[in-house]
Amino acid sequence: MARRKKFDDVNGWLVLDKPVGMTSTQAVARVKRIMHANKAGHAGTLDPLASGLLPVALGEATKTVSFVMDGRKIYRFVVQWGIETDTDDTEGVVVARSDLRPSRDDVLDILDEFTGEIMQVPPAFSAIKIAGERAYDLARDGEEVILEARPIQVHRLDLVDMPDADTAVFDCECGKGTYVRALARDMGRRLGTCGHVVGLRRLLVGPFGEEDMVPMDRLDELAETGEPAAPRGELLAVDTALAEIPEVVVNRDGAARLRRGQGVILRGRDAPTEAGAVAVTCGGDLVAIGEIEGAELRPVRVFNLEG
């Protein structure tokens, strides 16, 4: 019987530059194997046809995934005018065509309509659940998928380039739940033509940006050394994901109480005055994610990062 390879308690974030053609699940599995890590997950799916920033959480970092997913995202995407598909990207079947091509001024004139809080109908081929089933599974089975419009937040939508009459390149900074494919579809319709995404790259997710990304080729090179510590040198600390929430410092007694699931009474002028999530540290080490209720700090997620 072959011996199972030993995996370790690896903790931290790997900000992967996911290549085109790989699912997010495949990317996470590969990172987990390269890192010899016991536990891994990701903060926000990227379609196989998309590339770019995929934050992979390892070990205790999986407890901070929600804080990354709730953060802002920046995408650069390419729209081809004149064709609409049932998936709103190049994987789908063509469902509409138009000979009309918008001018640069036409496109600039509508961008404000797609900025701010807007209502968006997600693509039929999406991971949204309908009666417990994924919409894309129903759509692939030939069933009619009807999704309700829902509010999304688009902080910024810029026209970057129009290299030819058929193509436009955009940058979009948006909140959780925004479908760039649906933006392309809806902009096409608003312009009296059709549109679908032919290229998509994610550049930012929450606290992670382009400067943090590690190409898969780089990980593969480090893995070939045979030393698990080599690729682990690319990891960012677990608390990187908590950069946008307040920090509360406790002493050793307070840290011990929190690790036992007990609350701590906060005193002094440094105690936060507003309720909400906080990152709790002791001696520079992350102890817990807590919530402030009155003068009490209660643990929500406790971390095991010692040693």
Catalytic amino acids? Answer: 47
Residue 85 to residue 196: CA distance in whole angstroms: 7
Residue 139 to residue 131: CA distance in whole angstroms: 14
Other beta carbons less than 10 A from residue 8's beta carbon: 13
Query: Which tokens belong to 277?
Result: 């999530």
The label of the residue with tokens 């640069």 reads: 104
φ and ψ at 173, to 5 degrees?
Answer: -110, 120
Contact predicate 78/204, CB 8 Å? no
Residue 274 to residue 291: CA distance in whole angstroms: 10
Residue 102 to residue 116: CA distance in whole angstroms: 23
DSSP per residue, 99-123: -----HHHHHHHGGGGSEEEEEPPP
Residue 238 to residue 241: CA distance in whole angstroms: 6
Burial class (CB in 10 A: 0-12, 13-18, 19+), 68: buried
φ and ψ at 127, to 5 degrees?
Answer: -85, 5
DSSP per residue, 120-153: EPPPSSSS-EETTEEHHHHHHTT-------EEEE
CA distances from 55 to 40, 44, 46, 170, 233 (A): 10, 8, 10, 22, 16
Amino acid identity for residue 193 in this structure: T
φ and ψ at 162, to 5 degrees?
Answer: -130, 85
